Amino acid sequence: MTPLDIATRIAHVQDRIAAAATRATRQADGVTLVAVTKGWSLDEIREAWTAGVTEFGESRIQEAEPKITALPRLHWHLVGHLQRNKARRAVSLFSVIHSVDSERLAADLSARMTAQRPIDVLLQVNIAGDQRKFGIPPRSTPAMVRAVNGMSGLRIIGLMTIAPQTDNPETVRPVFRRLRDLRDEIRASGIAGDEFEHLSMGMTDDFEVAIEEGATMVRIGRAIFGERM
């Protein structure tokens, strides 16, 4: 992928984000593009930054650490599963953690917070009940939100899900709708603050449907950087 290709592809993704937002009578600036750079090097990441992307996602601490150390001014999001023994490194490297999937992990993150600023976290929900996926069941989510809301150093800003893989994104629309309903129910019940507003959902194959269903953060890799080797 040449630099020009990356910039062109980002512009195209942004056009698709804007068109999906318009279909849902939403503002395009209510959707944040998180460029997922797992498998890609500093060169590609710099090209995306030059093209205007400010939010970057990585799925593993090991791979992310050297990239974040080299490019600390970018905003880094952890989108992959986090093991509890890596909680300390996670809070020092990332500004947002999308994949909090247990109360014990949240408690570990809270205990590792030393910085003045709280860290933004989202709870990962396993909407489809897929055994191979991480995430808490929808029915346990309100209680988890309440628990995490009381932990110092963590600011719980919303929910995240990964939809099952499919050739036809319409088939996963109900997954996204369910996550939005869950967020709305939790907001209405008053157990979370006003900052509990985000829905991190939608990837290369399904981000337009996710935006139509209310996504505020889309996590996109292949549509920007091409197929991972």
Site residues (CB under 6 A) for ligand PLP? 36, 38, 59, 79-80, 162, 203-204, 219-222
Nearer CB in complex with ligand PLP: 59/141:
59
Q: How far is the CB of 122 from ligand PLP (least distance, A)?
A: 11
Q: How far is the CB of 164 from ligand PLP (least distance, A)?
A: 13
- Within the chain, strands assigned E span 32-36, 55-58, 75-78, 96-100, 119-124, 154-160, 198-200, 217-220
Cα 207 to the center of its chain, rounded Å: 12
In the complex, what is the shortest distance from the CB of residue 38 to ligand PLP, in angstroms, rounded to a whole number? Answer: 6
CB of 15 vs ligand PLP, minimal distance in Å: 16
Shortest distance in whole angstroms from residue 34 CB to ligand PLP? 8
Question: Looking at beta carbons only, is 47 or 188 nearer to ligand PLP?
Answer: 47
Is-contact 121 97, C-beta < 8 A? yes
What end-to-end distance do the CA atoms of the chain give, in Å? Answer: 12
Of 149 and 204, CB closest to ligand PLP: 204
The closest alpha carbon to 214, from 186, 175, 165, belongs to: 175
CA–CA separation, 176 and 199 (whole Å)? 9
Cβ atoms of 67 and 78 closer than 8 Å: no
